[in-house]
Amino acid sequence: MSAPLLITFDSVWKSYGEGEACVHALAGVDLAIRRSEFVAIMGPSGSGKSTAMNIIGCLDTPTAGTYRFMGVDAGRLDRNRRALLRNLYVGFVFQGYNLLPRTTAAENVELPLIYRGVSARERRELAMQALAQVGLVGREHHTPAELSGGQQQRVAIARAIVTKPTLLVADEPTGNLDTARTHEIMELLTRLNAELGLTIVMVTHEADVAAYAGRTVRFLDGHVASDTAKAEAA
């Protein structure tokens, strides 16, 4: 039995500007992603992949068409309700780790829980669990400057999963890492997808990184140019 749909684009358009200056970043995109999938989104600069990711993460809304997240028409929600949806159900990992430099790994991971009003004791317990999940036991009290790039990205991933989100949106998560650290981070994401059933949507321009995903969607000129599951590619 197939997993339920989590993300649905129904003829989604995203346009910027007006008249002759109007640019269609997305031009009638149809896309469906089920719970627990690991999907890589690829495409050249200007293809629409980043615009699609922003809509998926409820950071932006379609100009036309429908974007549904967990059955909710997220494109019609106001800014505050989209923010609430993000805070409850979506975790983000970026190319830049976006860690606070003067705070420890554990304190960085606790940040999303502070916004939720979680008690200090429970915050620390959940942060330690998340750091253990990403293989950073013993690094809880280190600041970012005392961690390698790969370790900093692990802290960022722990921060993204500490709230137990339904969806993880990863934007070029290995863009600042060397080859060895890239594969470590991708193996970690693959494990989290398998063990937690975490849905992951990842934007990348690297084919070897996309190969870790179970499915690759390629954008070109605002359209989905191809949509290939790993089994189909074999």
Closest residue by Cα to residue 32 from 60, 69, 63: 69
Name the percent of the chain lying above pLDDT 90: 90
The per-residue pLDDT for range 70-118, each reduced to its tens digit, is: 999 999 999 999 999 999 999 999 999 999 999 999 999 999 999 889 9
What kind and span of H or E run contains 122? Answer: helix 120-133
Q: What is the mean pLDDT of the chain?
A: 94
Q: Name, in order, each residue with C-beta under 8 angstroms of 85's C-beta and a sequence gap of 6 or more.
A: 58, 69, 72, 74, 77
What is the pLDDT at residue 234? Answer: 38
Q: Where do the domains of the chain lie, and which CATH numbers do they carry?
A: 5-233 (3.40.50.300)
The per-residue pLDDT for range 24-48, each reduced to its tens digit, is: 999 999 999 999 999 999 999 999 9
- Residue 32: DSSP 8-state: E
Q: Which amino acid is at 195?
A: E
Reply yes or no on whether the pLDDT at 232 is more than 70: no
What is the pLDDT at residue 231? Answer: 66
The model's pTM is 0.94
Task: Report whether 193 contacts 38 (CB < 8 A).
Answer: yes
Closest residue by Cα to residue 154 from 169, 141, 138, 136: 136
Q: How confident is the model at residue 21 (pLDDT cuts 50, 70, 90)?
A: confident
